[in-house]
Structure 1
């Protein structure tokens, strides 16, 4: 995770492999053509989004998942999809940021709820830790697995405090992998069901979507917007703002609140476990080896992002019915936000992810005080939120590595259940605190 080697220039050509991007275009367009499917399930409505189909399609084409698919795309080609996942989320984040400006007064009014809902992370341990320890017999890896939804800042925290090869490190990486595999899909399904039950303020649910993961936030808020379309703009604004605040506060909440609370709760619960021995090493060795990966230079990132923007325009064409030429000004606006955000990440010596800077830039240009804000809002309306997230999940399906497949085969059931409980606890905890504060 901390490797800072730049991808060599001889490997740059693989970033623009035509077969990978063509397959993403085809699967994304087919997914958008299928459209949204809503299934009543008694307690609510299950909302199936095109992003789900796109992920499944490319997952089934991934040679790491189905070896015979190497005839369609080689493993060497597929592994470069991981770079595209990180970059393809950027225009989507910019689109979300643009939605904040018109709702800024409403967001300021809900300020305390936005700030405090992050404390809902303690619910992850309350729901997931007892199952991990008492049902599956996990040792201290349960601490890493259940203290948060295990995105990059949480991995960095656990790596710094315990080391990634420790029991806690194995746990956090296990949930990270499950989040990569199923996080966005699960959040979209869960959010749609809860929203259709009409038991909580939609603003509280939107805030709960902002968990510090662009793809998970996008899938979650897209499902909310489809369930309550009249509140789509409000959902977008609150989810984007919450996600931005999570980048600023999430690590500190994990460090000073969630992780100490999980440590304490583990000691309490461990007393009820048979054959108790707190000093025992991890009891659920996932056999996880964390691979090193080169990063992209600014030039490589922006060049690949330009290609991805073309993919997004095509997805938007099928999903929104707006042809690429008409939507091009809107995409150029989002691309410009991404360029500025990436450059700010490079020149400002603060450990803030590029997508956080992109959010800030997009919010600023959508504020009423910005001279061109009206033009920005009118143009970016031509790009659908849902259509910008579908190709992200298509790339994600190809990005599943052999390491992640091996982990799922060896310990998939246990860690998958713990991960889903962790995700559920994060979402419900944050939503309940936000609901109480509104």
Structure 2
């Protein structure tokens, strides 16, 4: 409702802050207590991890807000606050991955160009799997925007600058963006877990495939893969972090100069073959989706440094509790590690702001965290030992808790998408993961 819309620069509502963090704490703790639930699917299986419970519980709360008592009614302001906290809290997960990478840099150096080559899977896989299906379903030029990448913020910018967001390509990338935002983490978690259970690919290849350039999707995929191979969980997270860093830094340029031209050529070549006789599917007009997205973004509050620091501390407390419930690590044993993770995030964030945001914050945070555990850094072994007591799966659950609490606001836009474009968007995401994993599999034996 219009009365619930909050301006982007409005002061934070203290009641909403307390509500969001209190609900997140209860949901995350409950999810860790519920634990993983394996589900057999014939030749393979999927595991519903605590992070998936957390995401689903948060989503249900948001969708049921009108039927719940006052303290549980998650209004639009609270949902948008949860979205802002999620973006901020993901830095903690990035720092944890960076700490794992730093100590493994010598081993990663052995892979060398292999990590860069597997990034090509991110570029080719989405087009190879998504484009033919899109054309068979009757989708026209929207298929270009929906299948040239996983459709995160850089993809929106590239398509918007090249074609405009009111173009068919703009409608396609926006549909991919909304689909990925709403169900991308759940989908990639189930897919990665199922593929991992088939024992076709090496766990490290799957880990590299999980580094798709989206923090929440990478976290979800890594968690699902690690649950199938707990003895290699740290190594899986390490290689996923390295692949994700490459996707974040150079992936945008590769998308611009390789993936988008590839999608355009694939459309010109395949459309006369697969799409000529197909009835054109209707994709919702961009003006409606864009308006919905712009309105949503206008409501997401901007967090200042003080609030960001408070978020990191509060989420760190949630991690400590989840680490104790789900992994049996005493709070005081893991506390120094959480404080070091927060310190890495704070330093990286300050450098990001101080350098006028030339590089993404995730890059600076990753660099700082990697430096802290690089073998030549003083006290690197001690830092690695302390932060090693913080299980990275315990860090993912709070992240997806906030994701779940923020999702209900996206349901109206999601409903306006035709089912065909949603299917294509999910296939594009699957193609990214599978193609990158397949390429990584070809050289993982050298490790």
Question: What's the TM-score, normalizing by structure 1?
Answer: 0.91
Measured on the aligned residues, the alpha-carbon RMSD in Å equals 2.2
Is 1:405 the counterpart of 2:411? The answer is: yes
CA deviations 1:254-275 (Å, max 9, x no partner) are 1111100101111122213246
DSSP-derived class of the 1:38 partner? strand
Aligned to 1:95: 96
Residue 419 of structure 1, aligned match among 417, 425, 430: 425
C-alpha separation between the residues in 2 aligned to 1:401 and 1:161?
31
> What are the equivalent positions in structure 2 for 1:32-431 lying under 5 Å apart?
32-63=32-63, 67-69=66-68, 71=70, 72-73=72-73, 74-120=75-121, 121-135=123-137, 137-272=138-273, 273-274=275-276, 283-285=282-284, 287-288=288-289, 289=291, 290-291=293-294, 292-293=297-298, 294-349=301-356, 351-402=358-409, 404-411=410-417, 413-431=419-437
Q: Measure how far apart 1:343 and its partner are.
A: 1.1
C-alpha separation between the residues in 2 aligned to 1:276 and 1:327?
58
Aligned to 2:23: 23
CA deviations 1:136-188 (Å, max 9, x no partner) are x2222211111111112111211221222322122112111111111122222
Show structure 2 runs of 5+ residues with no match.
Answer: 1-6
Q: Measure how far apart 1:437 and its partner are.
A: 3.2
Aligned to 2:3: none
Alpha carbons of structure 1 residues 77 and 350: separation in structure 2 relative to 1, 3 Å:
closer
* Aligned residue-pair number: 426
C-alpha separation between the residues in 2 aligned to 1:350 and 1:22?
32
C-alpha separation between the residues in 2 aligned to 1:302 and 1:157?
32
Q: Is the 8 A contact 1:112 1:437 kept in 2?
A: no
Alpha carbons of structure 1 residues 336 and 15: separation in structure 2 relative to 1, 3 Å:
farther
Q: Is the 8 A contact 2:284 2:416 kept in 1?
A: no
CA deviations 1:239-287 (Å, max 9, x no partner) are 111111111111111111110010111112221324689xx9x941253
Q: Measure how far apart 1:70 and its partner are.
A: 7.5
Alpha carbons of structure 1 residues 13 and 305: separation in structure 2 relative to 1, 3 Å:
farther
C-alpha separation between the residues in 2 aligned to 1:69 and 1:274?
50
Alpha carbons of structure 1 residues 167 and 245: separation in structure 2 relative to 1, 3 Å:
same
C-alpha separation between the residues in 1 aligned to 2:191 and 2:442?
20
CA deviations 1:20-66 (Å, max 9, x no partner) are 11111111111101111222322222121111111110100004x66
Aligned to 1:3: none
Alpha carbons of structure 1 residues 328 and 15: separation in structure 2 relative to 1, 3 Å:
farther
Alpha carbons of structure 1 residues 80 and 351: separation in structure 2 relative to 1, 3 Å:
same
Q: Is the 8 A contact 1:139 1:284 kept in 2?
A: no
Q: Is the 8 A contact 1:25 1:315 kept in 2?
A: no
Q: Is the 8 A contact 2:337 2:389 kept in 1?
A: yes
DSSP-derived class of the 1:62 partner? helix
C-alpha separation between the residues in 1 aligned to 2:308 and 2:165?
27
C-alpha separation between the residues in 1 aligned to 2:253 and 2:367?
20
C-alpha separation between the residues in 2 aligned to 1:401 and 1:55?
11
Q: Measure how far apart 1:378 and its partner are.
A: 1.3
Q: Measure how far apart 1:432 and its partner are.
A: 1.3
CA deviations 1:280-335 (Å, max 9, x no partner) are 9x941253022243533333322332222222222222112223333221111000
Q: Is the 8 A contact 1:12 1:300 kept in 2?
A: no
Q: Measure how far apart 1:235 and its partner are.
A: 0.6
Question: What's the TM-score, normalizing by structure 2?
Answer: 0.90
Alpha carbons of structure 1 residues 16 and 376: separation in structure 2 relative to 1, 3 Å:
farther
DSSP-derived class of the 1:129 partner? helix
Q: Is the 8 A contact 1:221 1:236 kept in 2?
A: yes
